[in-house]
Amino acid sequence: SIPQEEFSFLNNFLIDAEKFWMNNNTKKLSSGLWTEIDADGQEYQFKAYATCVNNRKFLLIEALEDSDQEQQSVLQKAREYQLIYQQLLKDNQKKDVLIHCLIHDIAVELSAINCCFALLEFENLTPKGKEYLETGIKQCLKQEMLIKDILDAFSTEAVLTENSHIDIEEAPNILSSIQEVIEFSKLNFALNNIQLQLATNIDMTADWKVMGDKSRLDRVISNLVENAYRYSKPDSIVTIGLQLDGQYVLVTIDDCGLGVSPEMEKNLFQKFSQGKGKPGRAGLGLYFCRITLERWGGMIGYLPRLEGGSRFWFRLPRLALVMS
């Protein structure tokens, strides 16, 4: 029988094949994959090839084996996953826009409340009124920190999905970042009689460059330092340690607080996880730290201290070893 009568798919391919044969091309022309279904509903996949040998025209029809069909199935799955990924990006962009719009609206209202509180400070308030005013100002500050935490967490999720590129040229010096955070935070610690210090055994001459982005690394360190401050007792010490650990740089933040309860440990770095006794936060700070560090090939964890208190630690790859 004539091939195109058996396989209607070949009608269009034979037009291209005739042009191919007229040129006496020594290569072969492929039809691409097509599927035929028999009377029992069984699917079979074929490919046709046009070739020319000694001025003779040949049309070859190949029935694909299972391995070829599996390969096509894998390719199809890959295309499907790519479409799902693209849809995920679009959904994340919509979510990001919505969150920023909501946060913007909340921040505008919060700014108006702060202005009212600032004006009330000039009024002749009773002692009780001053107490209420101070409470209101503190609650506004907590809301501002909550807004910052939400933006940090969700913007980092968007970056994780959309972009995994890290600029090697702009890699941060983690020792410098720690020193800047200590300088920025010292006054706040001093107001509560808490000492914030850098460990004394750090090699100041070592290469402390790590994988990451400086602004987000500063935020990770600030979150962990702020966490230590919130759970530390007055007249205690918070110590930040730094050391080389094989291919990594290890950072530790030790405090003398109450530590973390065993039931909290397993969810400590999950979204919306909160410690007891310190309400008013969304539980996004440690989650932000985890997903940010993991994006850079790092890790984060918690250990109870034998002498009491907590040790939060994280590792990041050393830039010198990544580049070698």
Q: Reply yes or no on whether the pLDDT at 52 is more than 60.
A: yes
> What confidence tens digit (pLDDT) does each residue in 140-172 have?
887 777 777 667 666 655 555 545 555 667 789
Ordered DSSP codes for 237-300: EEEEEEEEETTEEEEEEE--S----HHHHTTTTSTT---TT--S--S-HHHHHHHHHHHTT-EE
Cα 69 to the center of its chain, rounded Å = 36
Q: Is 235 left (phi over 0), alpha (psi -120 to 50) or beta?
A: left
The span from the CA of 158 to the CA of 167, in Å, is 18
Calculate what percentage of the chain has a pLDDT beyond 90. 23
Using the CB atoms, write b or e for 103-112: b if 16+ within 10 Å.
beeeeeebee
Indicate the pLDDT class of residue 219, thresholds 50, 70 and 90.
confident
Q: Reply yes or no on whether the pLDDT at 131 is more than 80.
A: yes
Q: Dihedral, CA atoms, 180, 184, 186, 190, nearest 10 degrees?
A: 180
Task: From 169, 167, 184, 263, select the one nearest 226 (Cα to Cα).
Answer: 184
Average pLDDT over residues 289-313: 91
The span from the CA of 269 to the CA of 263, in Å, is 13
Architecture of domain 168-323: 2-Layer Sandwich (3.30)
Contact assessment for residue 285 and residue 149, using Cβ atoms and an 8 Å cutoff = yes
235 Cβ contact partners less than 8 Å away, ≥ 6 residues apart: 193, 194
How is the beta sheet containing 28-37 ordered, strand by strand? 28-37, 43-53, 56-63
The span from the CA of 324 to the CA of 312, in Å, is 29
Residue type, 260: V
Cα 254 to the center of its chain, rounded Å = 26
- Lowest model confidence (mean pLDDT) among 163-167, 181-185, 240-244, 246-250: 163-167
Q: Reply yes or no on whether the pLDDT at 317 is more than 90.
A: yes
Average pLDDT over residues 296-318: 93
Provide the sign of the torsion angle of the four alpha carbons 197, 189, 149, 215, taken in this order. negative
Tally: H helices and E strands in the chain: 9, 8
Q: Reply yes or no on whether the pLDDT at 189 is more than 80.
A: yes
